[in-house]
């Protein structure tokens, strides 16, 4: 596939930490059959973003969107991701890369999280 979405998460030492991100990848893939949807990590887990992009490009991906699955634009997204993108562009000039803001900064995502939080809290009447 020419189009790819890479869900980009931080990573953790506990393997079980990745389970919700894997489910998110699978749910996203079900909604986007026109794209290769994958998951990559900044650190502590594999595949790393460079490894995943290398695999996608080898399969023919040329239009790659990186979706940071972070709650906000912290240091990793402000410093680390731009450096990674520079390296990816240099390593894969045949592909175009774009990134979007952190998922937690999207108003719809925040609304869904607020609805969840409000729904689990018992509010006295």
Which tens digits make up the pLDDT trace of 85-98?
999 999 999 999 99
pLDDT tens for each residue of the chain, 125 residues long: 899 999 999 988 988 999 999 999 999 999 999 999 999 999 899 999 999 999 999 999 999 999 999 987 777 788 899 999 999 999 999 999 999 999 999 999 999 999 999 888 766 65
Which tens digits make up the pLDDT trace of 48-62?
999 999 999 999 999
| Neighbouring residues of 65: CB distance < 8 A, sequence distance ≥ 6 | 3, 4, 5, 6, 97, 98, 99, 100
Q: What is the Cα Rg of the chain in Å?
A: 16
- Of 29, 101, 94, 24, the residue nearest 63 (C-alpha): 94
pTM: 0.90
Q: Are 4 and 37 in contact (CB under 8 A)?
A: yes
Give rounded-to-5 percent helix, strand, coil for the chain: 50, 20, 30
DSSP label at 14? Answer: S
- Of 42, 35, 50, the residue nearest 21 (C-alpha): 42
């Amino acid at each position: 596939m020419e189009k790819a979405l890479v869900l980009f998460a931080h990573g953790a030492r506990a393997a079980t930490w990745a389970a919700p991100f894997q489910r998110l990848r699978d749910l996203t893939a079900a909604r986007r059959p026109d794209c290769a949807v994958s998951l990559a990590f900044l650190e502590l887990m594999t595949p790393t973003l460079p490894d995943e992009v290398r695999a996608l490009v080898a399969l023919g991906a040329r239009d790659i969107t990186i979706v940071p699955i972070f709650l906000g634009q912290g240091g990793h997204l402000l410093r680390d991701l731009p450096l990674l993108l520079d390296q990816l562009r240099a390593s894969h000039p045949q592909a175009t890369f774009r990134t979007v803001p952190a998922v937690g900064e999207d108003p719809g995502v925040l609304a869904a999280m607020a609805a969840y939080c409000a729904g689990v809290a018992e509010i006295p009447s």
